């Protein structure tokens, strides 16, 4: 089963069908193409052999009745027709279509041909009927960078209006395919590290099993100077005689066989972990087991003890207030819970859902927790000053009594008359802005390190192009990062702040993502032109 999935995974990069037909040792890979199987693949190869041993184009699969229409729709993009299999005599009879050696589906060939003609500034109505992909061949061989100048978003809107086809994502994919056919977009395989193998085999990590950890093990073998025992994870523990309390009567000739029996459970401290051999060196001396010096757990470098203390204090304060007067607000989103309970509740709710809850600052405040994305939450009243997170609750004014909701709700300098107004004027616009970025074709669900690596790999494949993409910040809710790389430059990152009124990027405000990207591209082009002009000026001075 695993081997079969591996073949399917690798045949997604395309199968050379003529190689399969002419070489028996490669024919087995065809069955793993989408829509085929052992029987259909063998039938197609048999029909190709009866037709002369070569498949000249994808459309011949239908014209020569080698497969049904539904099978053709599923498998066409993964079947490659390579020009190298045809000699000059065959090329006189058949015109090789370069689109047959791309991931572009035959149903989109006309669109790809129009894209190539538009990029070359020629009239696509003048195409040669015998060679309709002549401009495709020309642009793929000579000047594929001109495809970057096409306004694909406008073209997609035109197709949607005139033909009711949703092709926005497909157009971008087709452009990439024309520039680099069957480019491998998957990450290179990386074997599991020692730590990863250790976790898979034992279910232990550096947090659960570390130097000084107190563990229980069962003795499996006893030697004169060694104890061998079994840890719950399946690892073998070894105790040397020097790490055992020996009675005074046996100090001269210690023999552990007299002191311990098999199947006895012992408490021990971990002295050393060999992750490659899956063994533990243990210490069972009483002074080590009872020592408090081993109880210090190594923290993550980014762990903040101050924030931990603040969180604990806020929870204790909330529980104290909860034990006193319980506040209740007549609103469907009100929940009597702290921020941890709110995040747990929202974890199963859709994006944009909110919880109105009591504030730890007292009855003249309320807190509103809002779900931005899976695992990312923001408290209403949180905003950014110079990219630093500033957090405030909603202040209530003009209260009838201590437990009633204030007639005026204030967030920073803005005032609202009710909770629903906050939702309508803050939460819903923010949700639309965030959805706009998340649904953008350039958005990636990666952290900053993963995104930097992804952009770096894309830059290596498309050496003459600038690469960019969006990611959401999981450390600072409400922020997105625009990660980009220009040719011959390193990966860089800019910050995008989401607000109800729009996006703030490089001290400019934009109403939508597309206008932000247009400004970004224009600004980067100006910077590049300025650097180029400065270089030319310095050369003239020399």
Answer whether residue 404 shows pLDDT above 60. yes
**Chain centroid to CA 414: how far?**
36
Length of the chain: 542
Residue 127: per-residue pLDDT: 63
Q: How far apart are the C-alpha atoms of 228 and 260, rounded to whole Å? A: 11
pLDDT band at 125 (very low <50, low <70, confident <90, very high): low
Residue 92: per-residue pLDDT: 45
Answer whether residue 213 shows pLDDT above 50. yes
Residue 342: per-residue pLDDT: 84
Answer whether residue 218 shows pLDDT above 60. yes
Contact by Cβ (8 Å): 116, 178: yes
Residue 66: per-residue pLDDT: 85
Q: How far apart are the C-alpha atoms of 428 and 412, rounded to whole Å? A: 19
Strand 279-283 with 236-240, pairing:
parallel
Residue 386: per-residue pLDDT: 38
3-state secondary structure of 251: coil
More confident residue, 278 or 249: 278
Answer whether residue 503 shows pLDDT above 70. yes
Q: Return the axis-axis angle of helices 134-141 and 109-119, rounded to nearest 10°.
A: 60
Taking the CA atoms of the chain, what radius of gyration do you get in angstroms? Answer: 33
| φ, ψ (nearest 5 deg) of residue 228 | -115, 130
Q: Which CATH number is associated with domain 440-538?
A: 3.30.505.10
- CATH superfamily, domain at 2-179: Tex RuvX-like domain-like (1.10.150.310)
Answer whether residue 384 shows pLDDT above 80. no
CB atoms under 10 Å from CB of 227, counted, come to 26
Q: Measured at the alpha carbon of residue 236, what is the angle toward residues 231 and 237, in degrees to the nearest 5?
A: 80
Average pLDDT on 391-406 reads 75
CB atoms under 10 Å from CB of 443, counted, come to 16
Q: How far apart are the C-alpha atoms of 179 and 112, rounded to whole Å? A: 12
Average pLDDT on 460-482 reads 84
Contact by Cβ (8 Å): 283, 239: yes
Average pLDDT on 57-82 reads 85
More confident residue, 215 or 319: 215
Q: What is the b/e burial string over 394-425, where b = at least 16 CB atoms within 10 angstroms of the residue's CB?
A: bbbeeeeeeeebbeebbbeeeebeebeebbee
DSSP string computed for 297-308? PPPPTT--HHHH
Contacts of 7 (CB under 8 A, 6+ apart): 29, 32
The per-residue pLDDT for range 421-447, each reduced to its tens digit, is: 888 888 888 888 888 888 898 998 888
- CATH superfamily, domain at 194-295: Nucleic acid-binding proteins (2.40.50.140)
Q: How far apart are the C-alpha atoms of 251 and 450, rounded to whole Å? A: 57
The fold of 305-425 is: SHC Adaptor Protein (3.30.505)
Please give the model's pTM, rounded to 2 decimal places.
0.41
Q: How far apart are the C-alpha atoms of 379 and 363, rounded to whole Å? A: 17
Which of 427, 420, 371, 367 has the alpha carbon at shortest distance from 392?
367
The residues that bridge with 240 in the sheet, in sequence order, are 226
Which long-range contacts does 163-168 make (Cβ < 8 Å, 24+ apart)? 167/108, 167/111, 168/441
The per-residue pLDDT for range 274-319, each reduced to its tens digit, is: 999 999 999 999 888 888 766 555 566 777 777 777 776 666 555 5
Contact by Cβ (8 Å): 357, 366: yes
pLDDT band at 322 (very low <50, low <70, confident <90, very high): very low
Same fold, 194-295 and 440-538: no
Contact by Cβ (8 Å): 285, 241: no
Computed over every residue of the chain, the mean pLDDT equals 80
Q: Residue ranges per domain, the chain?
A: 2-179, 194-295, 305-425, 440-538
């Amino acid at each position: 089963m695993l081997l079969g999935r591996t073949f399917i995974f690798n045949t997604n990069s395309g199968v050379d069908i003529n190689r399969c037909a002419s070489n028996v040792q490669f024919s087995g890979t065809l069955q793993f193409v989408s829509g085929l199987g052992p029987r259909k693949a063998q039938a197609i190869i048999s029909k190709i052999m009866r037709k002369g041993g070569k498949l000249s184009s994808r459309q011949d699969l239908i014209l020569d009745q080698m497969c049904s229409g539904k099978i053709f729709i599923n498998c066409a993009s993964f079947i490659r027709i390579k020009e190298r299999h045809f000699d000059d005599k065959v090329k006189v009879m058949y015109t090789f279509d370069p689109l047959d050696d791309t991931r572009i589906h035959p149903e989109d060939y006309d669109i790809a041909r129009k894209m190539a003609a538009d990029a070359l500034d020629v009239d696509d109505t003048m195409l040669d009927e015998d060679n309709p992909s002549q401009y495709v061949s020309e642009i793929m061989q000579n000047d594929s960078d001109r495809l970057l100048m096409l306004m694909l978003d406008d073209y997609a809107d035109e197709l949607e209006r005139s033909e009711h086809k949703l092709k926005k994502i497909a157009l971008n994919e087709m452009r990439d395919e024309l520039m680099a056919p069957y480019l491998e977009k998957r990450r290179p395989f990386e074997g599991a590290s020692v730590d990863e193998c250790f976790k898979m085999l034992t279910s232990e990590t550096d947090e659960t099993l570390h130097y000084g950890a107190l563990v229980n093990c069962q003795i499996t073998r006893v030697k004169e100077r060694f104890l061998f025992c079994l840890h719950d994870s399946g690892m073998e523990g070894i105790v040397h005689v020097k790490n055992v309390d020996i009675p005074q009567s046996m100090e001269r000739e210690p023999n552990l066989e007299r002191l311990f029996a098999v199947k006895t459970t012992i408490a021990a401290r971990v002295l050393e972990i060999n992750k490659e051999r899956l063994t533990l060196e243990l210490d069972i001396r009483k002074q080590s087991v009872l020592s408090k010096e081993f109880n210090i757990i190594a923290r993550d470098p980014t762990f903040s003890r101050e924030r931990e203390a603040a969180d604990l204090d806020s929870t204790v304060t909330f529980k104290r207030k909860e034990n006193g007067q319980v506040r209740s607000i007549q609103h469907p989103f009100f929940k009597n819970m702290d921020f941890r309970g709110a995040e747990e509740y929202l974890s199963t709710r859709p994006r944009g859902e909110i919880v109105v809850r009591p504030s730890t600052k007292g009855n003249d405040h309320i807190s509103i927790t809002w779900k931005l994305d899976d695992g990312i939450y923001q408290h209403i009243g949180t905003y950014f000053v110079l990219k630093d997170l500033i957090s405030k609750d909603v202040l209530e004014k003009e209260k009838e009594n201590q437990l009633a909701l204030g007639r005026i709700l204030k967030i920073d300098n803005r005032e609202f008359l009710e909770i629903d107004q906050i939702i309508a004027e803050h939460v819903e616009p923010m949700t639309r802005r965030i959805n706009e970025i998340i649904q953008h074709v350039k958005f990636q669900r990666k952290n900053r390190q993963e995104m930097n690596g992804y952009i770096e790999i894309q830059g290596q494949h498309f050496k003459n192009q600038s690469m960019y993409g969006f990611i959401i910040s999981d450390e600072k809710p409400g922020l997105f990062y625009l990660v980009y790389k220009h040719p011959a430059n390193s990966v860089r990152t800019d910050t995008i702040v989401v607000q109800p009124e729009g996006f703030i990027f490089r001290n400019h405000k934009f109403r939508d993502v597309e206008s932000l990207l247009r400004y970004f591209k224009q600004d980067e082009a100006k910077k590049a032109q300025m650097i180029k002009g400065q270089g030319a000026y310095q050369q003239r001075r020399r």
